[in-house]
Amino acid sequence: SSVYHVSPSSQRSPQAPLSIGLLGMGAVGTLMASHWRQHKVFALPRDHKSVLTLNLFTPAAQTAEQQTAEHQQWQLPCWQGEPLDWLVLTTKAGDTLTALKPWLNHLPRVNNLLLLQNGMGQQQQCADWLAQHRLHTKLWAGISTAGAYRRAANNPQGSEVVFAGAGQTIAGRWAQENPADNDNTDTTPLPPGIESVRDIPARMREKLAVNAVINPLTAVLRCHNGELVSNPLYLPQLQALAAEVADLYQQLHWPLSQDLSERVQQVAQATAANRSSTLQDILAARPTELVFICGYLQQQAQSLGLTLPLTARLMRQLSD
């Protein structure tokens, strides 16, 4: 693959330049930052001082117009507290507040904070934390289905991310978990590459339902996503867990736009060769995000006096 450096003039942006901070340099963060080359982008590294180098590899197969693989490399200066239109946080759900706390003194200069993560529960924790510190930063939440992963190679130069497939990244204002309380009229332009939606909690719940089936099952069974459908021993487990989650959604009056078992099978098939993010975490001995997926649903169930026996059993198996 050939390395080249995209000059800012080679990409056009319809917007005036935004100033954007990026907290969390994983796959999603790097992919997002590649859309922001026309903008003023800052990194929020743990040491509060280093310049960050990002590497994004796009295999030839991912772009119709390109014959060759592409390697983009660029650098982000460290944020020194300049006013930010957006701070985009892409850490693991469980690291949200830990990542934000060291930057507390600079946060009054952030207009909008976008949590672009898997899972639910951390958005409300963050909203409470902002209120507790009397910060007027507007909170947004989003989800991404774009495929990207960090390459195992440990590059001392910075993160190495491979773009594995186009997807959609959506976000909306997060005022309350109750959609009726959300501010649907906010027209603040989102950073490029992110589509604005009016019903973000509902959209997140739909994704959460799918993750609450695929992620714990693939983690316990140690299988690729596709095997949940192709293995006749696994499919009934998928169906039973989907039924448990769908029942809870019905009790909570959280609509699902499609039969959950069908939806889960479609997603598992569309991502057949992938390992779920939870299985990847387990294989890499990292903490999983299941507390913000299954654990969040268990809390919701508990608030109605219900239990989720299949979910609880999977969670127990994973904690052993």
Residue (of 175, 220, 218, 223) closest to 199 by Cα position: 175
Please report, as a single letter, which amino acid is at residue 57. Answer: F
DSSP assignment, residue 108? G
The two beta strands, 169-173 and 138-144, are: antiparallel
Among 19, 169, 182, 215, binds ligand PAF (CB under 6 A): 215
Q: Name the residue with tokens 């330049």.
A: 17
Distance CA 289, CA 118 (A): 8
Establish if 276 lies at the interface with ligand PAF (CB under 6 A).
yes
> In terms of CB distance, is 188 or 269 closer to ligand PAF?
269
> In terms of CB distance, is 30 or 225 closer to ligand PAF?
225
With contact defined as beta carbons under 8 Å apart, do 205 and 254 qualify?
A: yes
- Please name the residue ranges forming H helices in the chain: 27-33, 96-100, 122-132, 200-221, 227-230, 235-252, 260-270, 277-283, 294-303, 309-319
Among 76, 120, 214, 248, binds ligand PAF (CB under 6 A): 214
Establish if 288 lies at the interface with ligand PAF (CB under 6 A).
no
User: Is 207 a catalytic site residue?
Assistant: yes
Distance CA 183, CA 119 (A): 21
Among 122, 144, 261, 277, binds ligand PAF (CB under 6 A): 277
Establish if 225 lies at the interface with ligand PAF (CB under 6 A).
yes
Establish if 274 lies at the interface with ligand PAF (CB under 6 A).
yes
> In terms of CB distance, is 274 or 298 closer to ligand PAF?
274
Distance CA 56, CA 261 (A): 35
Distance in Å, CB of 276 to ligand PAF, minimum: 4
Establish if 96 lies at the interface with ligand PAF (CB under 6 A).
no
Q: In this chain, which stretch among 96-104, 160-168, 207-215, 301-309 interacts with ligand PAF, using CB under 6 A?
A: 207-215
Among 247, 271, 272, 312, binds ligand PAF (CB under 6 A): 271
Q: What are the residues binding ligand PAF (CB under 6 A)?
A: 118, 211, 214-215, 225, 267, 271, 274, 276-277
